[in-house]
Structure 1
Amino acid sequence: MGSSAARSAFAVVGAVWVHVVLAQAPADAELPRVVVTGARASLAGAQQIKQDKLEIVDAVVADDIAKLPDFSVTEALQRVTGVQITRDRGEGGTVTIRGLTQMETLLNGREVFTAGTGRNFDFADIAAELVAGIDVYKTSSAAQLEGGLGGIIDLRTRRPFDFAGRQALASARLIHGDLAGSSEPQLSLLASQRWALAGAGEFGALVNLSVQRRAFREDQKGTGEPVALNDLVAGRTVRAPNGTSETTSVGERKRTAAHVALQWRPSPALELYGEASHAELRTDQESHQVGVVPCQRPACPAAAPAFVPGSVTLFPGTDDLRSITWTQVPMSILSFARDTVDRTRQAAVGGIWTRDALTLKADLSRTTSFNHLFFSGPFLAATAGEFTHDLSGGVPGTQVTGTDLLDPSALRYTGLAYRTRPFEGDLTAFRVDAQLRVEEGWIRRLSAGVRHARRGASNAPGLIFADAAVTGLTAADRPSFVMPNPYRFFPGVGSPSLHDFLVGNLATARDAAGLREAFGITAPIPAAANPLSLWTIEEQTDAAHAMVEFQAARLPVDGNVGLRMVRTREAVTGSQSLPASGGVGPIAIGSRYTDWLPSVNLRWRPAPGWVLRAAASKTLTRPNFDQLSPSLTLVPNPINPSLNQGGSGNPSLKPVRADNFDIAAERYFGPATSVVATVFVKKVDGFVTTVSSPEVHDGATYQVSRPQNSDAADIKGVELGYQQFYDGLPGWLRGFGVQANYTYIDSEAPNNALGIVLPLQNLSRHSVNLVGIYERGQVSARLAYNWRDKFLSGLANVVGIGALPIYTRGYGWLDASLRYQASERVSLALEGTNLTRTRRGAYYGVETRPQGHWLNDRQLSLSATIRF
């Protein structure tokens, strides 16, 4: 799908769809008012939100989310125009809006986040069943929270007054991963009720719960960084990959989510509420990784290792290695448990009071978040008699001969890994907003508000790196700690991979103290990391806004114009080296700055069904917390010291600011039929980029990365969207419908490491969503295809070659569902994700230098929903 022919096909199909739509409704037709009920109401509801908002917004509502097998909010977002996601263990990972991860994330209009180095909420943490809708704001208004350079994503949960009366439903799903070979249950429950209170108005309570378990498997084959070698072909410098790294990861992801909402309306003028939310994502993972590294630095590339004469071939017309057989090659086998947990909780109370034309709103919220990593397991090493590396196939072929890697005496223990890393964050926020409705003149509404927030973030006690070396022991000396590799790597792929070898037995990996005792390691695990790596940040923001909503007197033009002022105070504390004494001392750095953020949103309705929009605004995003930290974190590599890495922040970083301009045209032909187009430009004053260079610490060399503000960058693009049910077709065919959108984004960001301009990381220039829909009688079906073009996924600094961009190839992802309404209360569904079992791939700059390949499960599930 990444070819120009495929993109042309998409364009042709889109043109045909638009022609069909325009042919079905005259341009000057007066649209009748239609009440939509049943299955199509979800599409109509999302379209109505988009049409009614003064800002440019895309929306997804709960009923439509439920029609596809989306595990998390991230996967529901992937089908929104202008949104792109990455993949993590076969699920949705990072989210970008128009190529930017710098967005504001909200839960019911309140800031929410996942503890870590960044500021945003990880949408993979929350189950899709917990949301009533998702609003993606592409343009800003003064009343909205600042911080969204790319936009704002607001998750809306359900409240009891959303329903006319009692509402109760439960759903159960059994999901099977074909590579994992395991099935796990998923359950959700919603219960809501309203009561009339004698003389005290009305009261409502709602509880929404979700528990998801999903077994997963991900195979990853990494190809080593290119190394410049002069000894492979006479008179030529050959760029050869520095070996292979092949990892099979299996495990379970468990999401638990809960939302409780109370509403009390003691009188028509007053409503009080209280809400509490909990979202947690646990990933328990076990990985087995075999690495073959023929070129050990620093000896290489000065002297190439031995290879079989005549085994070297190159890709035609290049100096890039195509195949080779190395001899006497060092190997490593790493087996480890890698467990993570994200836990975010938010509680809020507030009220809304209305008297005549005046409305007052107040909201107080408290958010806490915790993130933790645990990593533990044994490391082994061996020597391969011969290692053949063939890069000519779609996936590089690898093979070891001349050594029996199932013989315990052929493998030796080199160490035990132990690493933990926590993050914590908290936020207390209070806001008051007032709105005055004006009955006469061109001003329709005046609004103003203030917000005070205090946010904290910390990584204490830091990354505890307690790897311990083991010497003098073979696997035969501790046979209970190894076992044959239980997995056939990259099943169904024609290229050979490594598979017949011993791996670590991870039965005791999570008992780190017992594992160390079994190998005679007496050194205690430190209680805290090096003080130089620790940081704590306290941030206070005070904001005020004023906004006018207006309606032109004689023209069908309305909109809003406003100004938001925000003052930011930051206090960063950490530690620094004291060269004079050789010790460590505290460091505290404070900063403050004020931003004025104007915005305007215009809407013109020149004819029934037509909406034209224009918007302009200034936005900002503050640097991530680790980017502001003055502390230094060093991560040694016990297998290959040349891969020692480090990172440090920069307290002098400035926020990233942007001027944004949008123009949109929207044509609505009916409650669920529309064609929309948006053109946007963002002029960013400079992103935060990372500069990496070698530094010597405690006698060892580390490649240390430090952030800095870069030069200005531009982002521009086009978004196209279309949806329709084909009601004009005869009989059962009228149940067919389609949703389609296309996004083109062109970005230019200077890169200091390469000295050239590159696109933004994780941004595809082209992305497409096609959703085929069928809604007829008791049957509901969806077939959803998401495709994105190639994108820059990282940079590698290679000794002797320099910095190389890493590109991930374009790929598609196919999901589907078939739902049957067995009765008024019971529905059954068959669902599938990653039906084509997509294989993703990446390369260093050019296709003849592969970097990595990934393979994930195909997931199939059966589910049932019961309404009580």
Structure 2
Amino acid sequence: MSYMKYAPRRAALLAGISIATLTIAGQASAQDAASMPQEATAEEGNAIVVTGVRASLSSAQSIKRNSDVIVDSIVAEDIGKLPDRNVAEALQRIPGIQVQRQYGEGSSVAIRGLTQVRTELNGRDIFTASGANQLSLEDIPSELLAGIDVYKNPSADQIEDQLSGTINFRTRKPFDFDGFKAAATLTQSHFDLVDKFKPSASLLLSDRWDTGIGEIGVLASMSYQKTAFRQDTISTEPFYTLDPSNESDAAVLATLGRTGQATTLPHGTGIGQVFGDRRRLGMDFAVQWRPSDTLELTAEVFRSDYKFRLDDYSFFAYTSTSAIIPQPGAPFSYADNGDFQSGTFIDLPIGDNTSAQTRRSKTTDYSLNLKWEPTANLTVRADGQYVDATTRNLRSIFGLNGTADTLYQDISGSVPVVNITASNGLANVATYNSAFYLDNLNESKASDKVGRLDAEYRFDGGILSSIKAGVRYGDRRNKTIDTGYRYTGLSSIPTQLETVNLDDFFRGDADLFGDIIAFQRGIIQNYQQTLDVLGIDGPPAYVQSGTNQQRQKSYAGYATAFFKTDPVDGNVGVRVVRTNLDVSGYYQQTPIIIGDDGTETTGPTVFNPIAVSQSYTSVLPSLNLRVHLADDLQLRFAAAKNIARPSFTQLNPSLTLTEPGSAQQDQVHTASGGNPNLKPMKSDNLDVSLEWYFSRTGSLTAAAFYKRIKNYIQTAVSTRTVTFDNGNSYDYEVTSYNNVATGKVKGVELAYQQFFDFLPGPLSGLGMQANFTYVDSKAPSPATAGPVTNVPLELLSKYNYNLVGIYELGGVSARVAYNWRSKYVVTTAGNGTGNLPIFNKPFGQLDASITYNVTPEFALTVDGVNLANARRSTYFGIDTRPRDVVVNDRRISLTARITY
């Protein structure tokens, strides 16, 4: 496997290769490069043949050296063998990419500090129906992919809407192979924290034939993956600074002996233990027909079917915005700035929840491509695509409420100490005085109809080498229906409870409060059974007010000129895009109704419709230059303008407010909604890179980049007082989005790769890949006062590096990879943070794998993820206010791979 710059033109990349020849193929598109035969043919006598990881590394270097634009790639060393089994985690090895994790797996990425990433499948749109405008990376089985390309600075012929870059997933085609091809993998994985085994398998069959109507190829590929996880979390939130002008706060300061001193106290703490699993089912079917040497048609159906499920226990003690009462006379400690570090509180509410969540996402991509070469100088492509995507979500929460006698906290160490006591014990039902149930269902359906026509004319001589022009039309729709959260206050506490033993929580490293009692996991996992046990008559109904819709039409045209004059070559072009956008939804309020028997249920919703339309035109020029300073040294320069449209989720105008029930009075009341008036983000991009190729498998490169972003979209939280029709008023912390004035991103990437073939004997199998990224950014914080007024852009680490040690000799191939990133902003504002940003502390993860080729057709691989049991931690604005500490599974897998 290699991580490399991938040339979308002038490249002979062998998708999914294990044997490569280092040649330069003339100008070719990314689709051309990805669909070339598995074994390329060099000119007679000029072929240099290498195998395995060396083939990937050598091809990477050759392609990077001869590319027109700046692109990094990952290529599967063999069929069904990306270096990491999770797509996002494979991408994190590329310079400039940082991965976000969800329940132990990589789920999304930022490119050069920006999360506005465009996702494509074979150069076309691909997305998950969730309003995010991109594909959820955790949905895709990696075994279906031949490679992944990451475009960092666009050229005019690339589709817009890629502020940070474009990730293009490439699948295999039947014409990639000389004839019949079969490959299969079988994997068994163990996840140590949840202590479960889960299987995975994949199968590829492909063949091609000469017929009376031309050459025909057929390929079918399928992948099935199951994974499990457990995540343990200790949380501290929210923090509030005591106000001496407030009578209640003044009394607390007096009790603490802190009158006249700045003092900040947390108003709660808790633990969560999440159990879950994922299932990925992917299918790819492709047919190619070449009736003549000048005409080729490709039809493909790609389907991703993803299931996600979790259930959890959570136990917490907190007072929300109400004052928290210190225990008189108990010792307290503080940081130098007055932030709480340890102490004991009394008489505070406790919550004991059991919940479940499911998501199922299906995306089907139908595409038809025609490539026609009417003359030796002209190539015409016509492309049609239809995407059908659906997502269904369910959230189900059972809660108990009671009162704790004492809460002792010590947050000064790496693992917070949490001790909660109640006179009857936390595992005694008598400790709890009320119970409630919440459920919510929502469904999203999205589609995309795309047509595209491109033509390229190549000149036989002169400075101008070719001209490429094209047009594209896209019509994307998204519709979401949502029941809103239904609240059901229970008249009594159910008997279907169980004792939860927390002895092994946090791998036994946590100082906790012993056992708790909770609603049975075996019931909460089954939604219908939960409703039956609680006596609830069916799921909540979808109502008109729970609907929001978005429709986006785009009309694009571009022209690009490619030129070459010694020692400079490159391209210059412009793309013009017209966007028409319509969004609609509802502002709604749902009150609580108290029945004759005192039970509380949600009442009829009052709603008002909202509809907003926008239209705008974007002119996006681009320039890519390369200067050949010497045979092994070259300098690149790129400049471009780009846009990133707000996601459908960010534009959603709907806001749903449900009145809290009596059992929720002590909680922070929250809501979230979009902003239909958001503008597209605009960026001016500059890139420069210097590349030195000192051997066949050795290179050292440096790149610098700068992005100036207007209308950057940022998360913001505002407090709103909401009055319902029954006259009750509550404060809600509402999360939404706005366009800040300007954001700036600049940085440097360094990359090195080499196999140490010059070493003697077995040491000649050693190799190394290393890269380092520095990204600096700044944007205004939503906070107007306090310790943090400026923050980096969300999900951006200033420093990031990868160290990958490789060994390949004979039938053995091994790899040890360590990825590290510095602190980053999770969100610029969060509920209960006092409008402070939430930071994730520095994080590093160690992964490894070893493969033994038993025969040329059969190999065994053992790989491990999170081998060092890394912990993730977050904090509010400043590190004396910790938020979460999280541990996840280690995963060990054994894979058998057969290729014929």
TM-score normalised per structure 2:
0.87
2:508 paired with 1:508 = no
Residue identity in the other structure for 1:501:
I
Deviation at 1:485, TM superposition (A): 1.0
- For residues 64-121 of structure 1, the C-alpha deviation after alignment (integer angstroms, 9 at most, x for no partner) is 8966762321111010110001111111022110011112211000011111132111
Aligned residue pairs: how many? 816
Secondary structure, aligned partner of 2:506: coil
The corresponding residue for 2:37 is: none
Instruction: Confirm whether residue 573 of structure 1 aligns to residue 605 of structure 2.
Output: no
Equivalent residue, structure 2, for 1:660: 685
Corresponding letter in the other structure for 1:233: L
Partner of 1:156: 170
How big is the shift at 1:796? 4.3
Aligned match of 1:314: 334
User: Deviations along 1:569-594, whole A, 9 cap, x unmatched?
Assistant: 1112223579xxx9644443222111
Task: Tell me, yes or no, if structure 1 residue 634 matches structure 2 residue 657.
Answer: yes
1:648-686 per-position Cα deviation (integer Å, ceiling 9, x unaligned): 333222110011000011112234321111000001112
CA distance in 2, matches of 1:577, 1:91: 36
Cα 1:422/1:245, change in 2 over 3 Å? farther
State the Cα deviation string for residues 304-327 of structure 1 (Å, max 9, x = none).
Answer: 425252232223x23111211222
1:634 CA drift (Å): 2.8
- Structure 1 SS opposite 2:741: coil
**Please, which of 759, 768, 771 is the counterpart of residue 804 of structure 2?**
771
Mapped to 2, the partners of 1:263 and 1:637 lie a distance apart of 58
Instruction: Give the 3 Å change call, closer, same or farther, for CA 563–510 of structure 1 in structure 2.
Output: same
The answer as to 2:445 corresponding to 1:424 is: yes
- What residue identity is the alignment partner of 2:329? P
The counterpart of 2:757, out of the listed 727, 742, 756, is: 727
- Give 2:6's aligned residue: none
Contact 1:451 1:544 (C-alpha < 8 Å) held by counterparts: yes
The Cα shift of 1:171 comes to 0.6
Please say if residues 34 and 671 of structure 1, whose CA atoms lie closer than 8 Å, have aligned partners that are also in contact.
Answer: no
CA distance in 2, matches of 1:306, 1:793: 31
Q: Residue 475 of structure 2 corresponds to which residue in structure 1?
A: 454
Structure 2 partner of 1:708: 738
How far 1:530 moved relative to its partner? 6.6
Distance 2:828 2:665 in 1: 20
Q: Which amino acid aligns with 1:723?
A: Q
Question: Which of 483, 495, 508 is matched with 2:498 structurally?
Answer: 483
* TM-superposed deviation, 1:207: 1.2
User: How far has the Cα of 1:753 moved from its partner?
Assistant: 3.0
Contact 2:685 2:706 in 1 (8 A): yes
Instruction: Confirm whether residue 865 of structure 1 aligns to residue 897 of structure 2.
Output: yes
Paired residue secondary structure (2:276):
strand
Counterpart for residue 36 of structure 2: none
1:593-604 to structure 2, matched below 5 A, reads 593-604=616-627
One-letter code aligned to 1:253: R
Within the alignment, does 1:368 sit opposite 2:388 as a pair?
yes
Matched-pair contact (CA < 8 Å) for 1:378–1:413: no
1:841 equivalent to 2:873? Answer yes
Give the percent of matched residue pairs that are identical in Structure 1 and Structure 2. Answer: 36
Match of 1:206 in 2: 219
- 2:636 corresponds to which letter in structure 1? R
Of the candidates 581, 588, 592, which is equivalent to residue 611 of structure 2? 588
1 CA distance for matches of 2:78 and 2:872? Answer: 28
Cα deviation code 1:263-301 (max 9, x no counterpart): 1111111101100111122111111001111x343xx23
Give yes or no for contact 1:353–1:360 (8 Å, CA) kept in 2.
yes
Alignment-derived partner of residue 56 in structure 1: 70
Give the AA of the match of 2:109. Answer: V
Which position in structure 2 is the counterpart of 1:559? 570
Task: For 1:252, give the aligned amino acid.
Answer: D
Cα separation, partners in 2 of 1:637 and 1:342, compared to 1, 3 Å: farther
1:637 Cα deviation (Å)?
A: 5.7
CA distance, structure 1, for counterparts of residue 820 and residue 187 of structure 2: 27
Q: Look up the equivalent residue of 2:812 and give its one-letter code.
A: V
Q: Secondary structure at the match of 2:837?
A: strand
Quote how far apart the aligned CAs of 1:498 are. Answer: 3.8
1:777 maps to a residue whose letter is: G
**Helix, strand or coil at the partner of 1:535:** strand
Say if 1:467 and 1:209 are closer, same or farther in 2 by CA, change over 3 A.
Answer: same
Q: With CA pairs under 8 Å and 6+ residues apart, which has the higher RCO, 1 or 2?
A: 1
Structure 2 residue matching 1:384: 3-state secondary structure: strand
> Which of 585, 602, 612 does residue 635 from structure 2 map onto?
612
2:555 alignment partner, SS class: strand
Shift of residue 517, structure 1, vs aligned partner: 4.2
Cα distance change, pair 759–603 in 1 and its aligned pair in 2 (3 A): same
Q: Is the 8 A contact 1:125 1:281 kept in 2?
A: yes
* Equivalent position of 1:20 in the other structure: none
**Distance in structure 1 (CA, Å) of the matches to 2:771 and 2:424:** 53
Cα distance in 2 between the residues matched to 1:429 and 1:318: 57
Q: Quick check: 2:794–2:828 contact (8 Å CA) kept in 1?
A: no
The offset of 1:409, in angstroms, is 3.0
Do residues 340 (structure 1) and 373 (structure 2) align?
no
TM-score (norm 1): 0.91
Instruction: Between 437-446 and 392-401, report the one with greater CA deviation.
Output: 392-401
Give 1:620 deviation, angstroms.
0.2
Match of 2:377 in 1: 357
Kindly indicate whether the alpha-carbon contact (under 8 Å) linking 1:49 and 1:59 is maintained by their aligned counterparts in 2.
Answer: no
Aligned counterpart, 2:484: 464
Residues 113-152 of structure 1: pairs in structure 2 closer than 5 A = 113-152=127-166
| Contact 1:779-1:820 at 8 Å conserved across structures | yes
Q: Which secondary structure state, in structure 2, belongs to the residue aligned with residue 508 of structure 1?
A: helix
Corresponding residue number in structure 1 for 2:512 = 497
Q: Deviation string for 1:448-507 (max 9, x for gaps)?
A: 1010110001212x2431121113x24xxx33x211114435434544024411121032
What's the offset of the Cα at 1:348? 0.4
- CA distance in 1 between partners of 2:831 and 2:201 (Å): 48
Tell me the distance in 2 between the aligned counterparts of 1:787 and 1:66: 26
Gaps of 5+ in 1: 1-31
Deviation digits for residues 683-734 of structure 1, max 9, x if unmatched? 1112012332222332332112332211112110000101000001000000
Unaligned runs of 5+ in 2: 1-45, 243-248, 590-604
Per the alignment, do residues 635 and 816 of structure 1 end up closer, same or farther by CA in structure 2, a change over 3 Å counting? farther
- Residue 803 of structure 1: SS of its match in structure 2? coil
1:361-388 per-residue CA deviation (whole Å, 9 max, x = no partner) reads 0110011222222111421123223221
Please tell me the residue identity of whatever aligns with 2:534: F
Aligned runs of 1:694-705 on 2, under 5 Å? Answer: 694-697=719-722, 698=724, 699-705=729-735
Out of 632, 635, 644, the position equivalent to 2:669 is 644
* Post-superposition offset of 1:846: 2.1
| 2:275 corresponds to 1:262 | no
Amino acid at match of 2:339: D
Q: What is the rounded CA distance, in whole Å, between the counterparts of 1:111 and 1:141 in structure 2?
A: 17
1:147-180 deviation line (CA, Å, top 9, x unaligned): 0011111111111111111111111110001111
Contact 2:782 2:835 in 1 (8 A): no
AA aligned opposite 1:803 = N
1:624 alignment partner in structure 2: 647
The one of 402, 410, 414 equivalent to 2:435 is 414
Show CA shifts across 1:498-540 (max 9, x none). Answer: 4411121032325545534433445x64322571x53211111
Q: Is the 8 A contact 2:717 2:835 kept in 1?
A: no
CA distance in 1, matches of 2:587, 2:266: 38
